[in-house]
Amino acid sequence: AAWGVGAPEACKPGELLALAEPGTVDPNSPGASSDAARGSRAVSNVFEPGSTAKVVTMAAALETGLATPANQYTVPYAFTTANNQTFHDSHPHPDLKLTLAGILARSSNAGTVMAGQNLPQQVRYDYLSKFGFGTATGLGLPGESNGILHPVDQWDGRMKYSVLFGQGVSVNAIQATQVYATVANGGVRVQPHIIKDYVDANGIVTKPEFAEPTWVV
């Protein structure tokens, strides 16, 4: 990989305990580093989340009553939708007998499309949005990208399925982290932050204001 980001988070308060990436900036002498003006790739660079988004699809299927963890599927290596779009798993395999939980455990693209194909397109969009895709995290770092979440009327015949397993959308690293932080926090999404409080010269502590938590699932 050309670069990576480490962003451990305390899920309930939304505190990023560290934010590490290649390139070092001395905060006491930021002008001395060629990386000083770059900002943080954790918020500025976006990528397709891929399998991270399968958690969103599973949450939507469970929350809407479309499926339960024990629903059973026969999952082929390649699955073709009603509009002749074919989706493959990462490696060839014979047909697999999987539950919904098994599809997630194996990270099956074909199985995820099978399980999520009956979710209305607007519902697919709504859950991606509720998990934070397409919206800035509010972390406060310069140069943050909102990522890319196209409205439903811009989804073509393939994208309406590919979003189920994290293609056709883009997120920054913190948005991807927030998917799992939300699930770990009992389905409540909180605003991530790197500043816990400010202390002035007189010792007075000021806490930043954060957005209200959102109950996602």
- The span from the CA of 217 to the CA of 157, in Å, is 28
Q: Which two tokens stand for residue 10?
A: 């305390």
Taking CB atoms within 8 Å and a gap of at least 24, the contacts of 61-70 are: 61/100, 61/115, 61/116, 61/119, 62/217, 63/127, 63/217, 64/119, 64/123, 66/115, 66/116, 66/118, 66/119, 67/100, 67/115, 68/100, 69/99, 69/100, 69/101, 70/99, 70/100, 70/101
Q: Residue for token digits 């502590």?
A: 205
- The verdict on whether 51 is a catalytic residue reads yes
Q: What is the CA radius of gyration of the chain?
A: 20
**Residues 196 and 17 sit within 8 Å (Cβ to Cβ):** no
Question: Going by C-beta distance under 8 Å and a sequence separation of 6 or more, which residues neighbour residue 16?
Answer: 7, 8, 9, 139, 174, 192, 193, 194
Choose, from 51, 107, 129, 145, the residue flagged as catalytic.
51
- The span from the CA of 119 to the CA of 99, in Å, is 18
Q: Which of the residues are catalytic?
A: 51
